[in-house]
Amino acid sequence: MERVFFYFIAVAIIVFAFMAVTNRNMMRSIIYLLFVLIGVSSIYFMIEYNFLGAVQLTVYAGGIIILYINSIMLIEKIGTPMEKVKTVRKVVAGIISVFGLALTLFAIYSYPFQTVKSGNVTTVSQIGQALLGYGNNGYVLPFEVISILLLAAMVGAIMIAKTEKK
Amino acid sequence: MQKQKKNRCIMINGVSIYEILTLTSIMFFIGVYGFFTRKNLIAMLVSVELILNSAAVNFVIINKYMFPGKLGGDIFSIFIIAVAAAETALALAIIINLYRLIMSVKTKDLETMKY
């Protein structure tokens, strides 16, 4: 049952991702990206990383998609399609992508992954203690770095978007 | 009931790590294809989102299937999501500012970032 569901999600993710990069209408392309992000969050839920799935849904599907839609509405007329891509460009990009995919799949399938079975469920309190822990298995240094990065991004966005009065 | 829940394996039943890694690789190279073919700045950002997302899924899947007692992949996926949010906000601010200056978001119209 879970296997069938996983294959359904996988096919949906691939189809919607392809439509997101090929559709010529910008707004539709963003909505297809939204479907891909929801599919990825359902994979997180299937392996019971519930907190990560919730973060994916709220930050990506909730926040980033709304940012994209707002900026598209600010920039372009919604109905106008983008210009067509040249066939040569498509073919070259397709060949490069397929070659890279083949190389990656060859590397993946020739490496013996040693999987471990366990029934551990990651709880939110474990994640919180790991985020602020400074001992073994603690991640407080990247947490602080990411907080400074977010602050810098916020200040930078304000600086960039600010209009200068002349 | 309780015992059944304890014994249940958390990995997706019947799905091996290879299939999930195949899915994320396909997603990654669809993103690469979009990055090569698109000529609109926002559409290129969409492709970057696909690439970042497939990388985040890889972190989580390898953590779950090979090192289930540890939390590294989970935490770094959260960091990837945070970095992606910051990057998107900044890039869209730059793009909107650029549109104000040259009234276009196509890559061929961008000759200089200096104004």
Nearest alpha carbon to residue B77 among A9, A134, A41 = A41
Chain A residue with minimal CA distance to B8? A119
- Per-residue model confidence (pLDDT) at position A106: 95
Which residue is it, tokens 């919180």?
Answer: A128
Which one of 1.20.120.1200, 3.40.50.300, 2.40.50.140, 1.25.40.20 gives the CATH number of domain A2-121? 1.20.120.1200
Within an 8 Å CB–CB cutoff, is residue B102 touching chain A?
no
B1-30 CB burial, b ≥16 within 10 A, e <16: eeeeeeeeebbbeebebeebbbbbbbbbbb
Residue B56 pLDDT more than 50? yes
Tell which B residues from 34 to 63 touch A, by Cβ distance under 8 Å.
Answer: 34, 36-40, 42-43, 45-47, 49-50, 53, 56-57, 60-61
d(C-alpha A162, C-alpha A147), whole Å: 23
Interface test with A, best of B83, B92, B106 (most A CBs within 10 A): B92
**Which residues 6+ apart lie within 8 Å of A105 measured at CB?**
B22, B25
A51, A97, A115 ranked by CB distance to B33: nearest: A97
Interface test with B, best of A46, A47, A132 (most B CBs within 10 A): A47
- Per-residue model confidence (pLDDT) at position B39: 85
Nearest alpha carbon to residue B60 among B14, B12, B103, B101 = B12
Number of H helices, E strands in chain B: 4, 0
Nearest alpha carbon to residue B61 among B23, B17, B14, B26 = B17
Interface test with B, best of A4, A23, A115 (most B CBs within 10 A): A115
Chain B residues with CB under 8 Å of A13 CB are 23, 27
Chain B residues with CB under 8 Å of A56 CB are 81
- Per-residue model confidence (pLDDT) at position A79: 62
**Are residues B92 and A2, on separate chains, in Cβ contact within 8 Å?**
no
The more confident residue out of A42 and A2 is: A42
A55 close to B78: Cβ distance less than 8 angstroms: yes
Residue A133 pLDDT more than 70? yes
d(C-alpha A62, C-alpha A42), whole Å: 15
B32 close to B55: Cβ distance less than 8 angstroms: no
The more confident residue out of B12 and B68 is: B68
Number of H helices, E strands in chain A: 7, 0
**Which residues 6+ apart lie within 8 Å of A80 measured at CB?**
none
d(C-alpha A147, C-alpha B81), whole Å: 13
At A39-96, the pLDDT tens digits run 999 999 988 888 999 999 999 888 999 999 998 888 876 667 777 888 898 999 999 9
**Are residues A21 and B43, on separate chains, in Cβ contact within 8 Å?**
yes
d(C-alpha B67, C-alpha B45), whole Å: 32
Q: Distance from CA of residue A143 to its chain's centroid?
A: 20
B52 close to A105: Cβ distance less than 8 angstroms: no
Interface test with B, best of A64, A105, A109, A151 (most B CBs within 10 A): A64
Quickly count: other Cβ atoms within 10 Å of residue B101's Cβ.
9
* Section B72-77 average pLDDT: 89
Domain borders along chain A are 2-121, 123-166
Confidence of residue B10 (pLDDT cuts 50, 70, 90): low
d(C-alpha A11, C-alpha A100), whole Å: 20
So what's the ipTM on this one? 0.89
The more confident residue out of A141 and A118 is: A141
Q: Which domains occur in chain B, in start order?
A: 17-108 (1.10.287.3510)
**Are residues A142 and B76, on separate chains, in Cβ contact within 8 Å?**
yes
User: How many Cβ contacts (< 8 angstroms) between chains A and B?
Assistant: 228
For residue B102, give how far its alpha carbon lies from the nearest alpha carbon of chain A (Å): 12
* pTM metric for this prediction: 0.88
For residue A165, give how far its alpha carbon lies from the nearest alpha carbon of chain B (Å): 14
Residue B3 pLDDT more than 50? no
A17 close to A10: Cβ distance less than 8 angstroms: no
